[in-house]
Each structure stands twice: as structure tokens, then as C-alpha cells.
């Protein structure tokens, strides 16, 4: 039996939850990015078919090319932070010394950035 098995399995479940969340955020970023590209292509194809030449802007205004990329980068950051915390916590669980709980500043910052990006996309959808 592994010493501290329940602690290690809880650490692994937490790691997998963070990775799942990161992958979901990355996937949503790809969806946003591809949907923007789809709208641009659809508009340019319909304008070419009608013979008109009109400038078409990305659906999200000046951030049209960056909202999907921002979500992808935040998702990647979530996965990297999850891996680092998993390794650090695993080492601390194997150590016989008692350790103080580490800071959660990185997770709070990443969560805040994600919340701001999602709020901005939601506000755009509501106001447009």
C-alpha cells in the first residue's frame, strides 16, 4: 500500500480537474476563433457573390482576433499551473515534515483573467 494514498489520490483528482478545465477553456478559445473566421469568410463570400465591395470587420470589434487566442493562452496557463502544483504537492505529501499551505495567488489571478475574458465576450454578445 502507498503511504498517504488518500492524499495522493485527492491531489491527482484535483490535478485532473484543473487539466479538464484548462482543456475546456482551450476548446472554447478555438471555437471562438474559428467562429470569427467563419463569419468573416461567410460575409466576404456573400459580398463577392453580390458584386459589392465592402469592408467587413471582425465580429468582436478591435479584439476580434485576440479573444479566442486569449482563451487558448489562459487554458494553457491553467494546465501548466496545474502540473506545477501537482508535482509540488506530491513532493510535499511524500516529505515527512509538516508544511504550511502555499499561496493561491496564481490560481486566483488565472481565474480572474478567465472571468474577465468570459465577461467581455458575454457583454459583447449582449450589447451587439
Instruction: Identify the pLDDT of residue 61.
Output: 57
Residue in 49, 51, 50, 68 with CA at minimum distance from that of residue 59: 68
Instruction: Identify the pLDDT of residue 124.
Output: 76
Put simply, whether the predicted model's pTM sits higher than 0.85 gets the answer: no
Instruction: Identify the pLDDT of residue 17.
Output: 95
Tens digit of pLDDT at every position of the chain (128 positions): 677 889 899 999 999 999 999 999 999 888 887 876 666 676 667 666 666 655 555 555 555 567 888 889 989 999 999 999 999 989 988 888 877 766 778 778 888 888 888 888 788 777 76
Instruction: Identify the pLDDT of residue 1.
Output: 66
Amino acid at each position: 500500500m502507498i503511504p498517504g494514498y488518500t492524499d495522493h489520490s485527492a491531489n491527482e483528482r484535483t490535478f485532473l480537474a484543473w487539466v479538464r478545465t484548462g482543456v475546456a477553456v482551450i476548446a472554447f478559445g478555438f471555437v471562438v476563433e474559428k467562429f470569427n473566421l467563419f463569419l468573416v469568410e461567410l460575409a466576404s463570400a456573400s459580398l463577392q457573390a453580390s458584386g459589392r465591395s465592402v469592408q467587413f470587420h471582425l465580429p468582436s470589434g478591435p479584439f476580434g482576433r485576440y479573444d479566442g487566442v486569449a482563451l487558448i493562452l489562459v487554458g494553457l496557463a491553467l494546465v501548466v499551473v496545474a502540473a506545477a502544483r501537482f508535482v509540488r504537492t506530491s513532493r510535499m505529501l511524500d516529505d515527512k515534515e509538516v508544511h504550511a499551505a502555499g499561496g493561491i495567488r496564481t490560481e486566483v489571478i488565472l481565474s480572474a483573467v478567465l472571468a474577465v475574458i468570459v465577461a467581455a465576450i458575454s457583454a459583447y454578445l449582449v450589447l451587439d
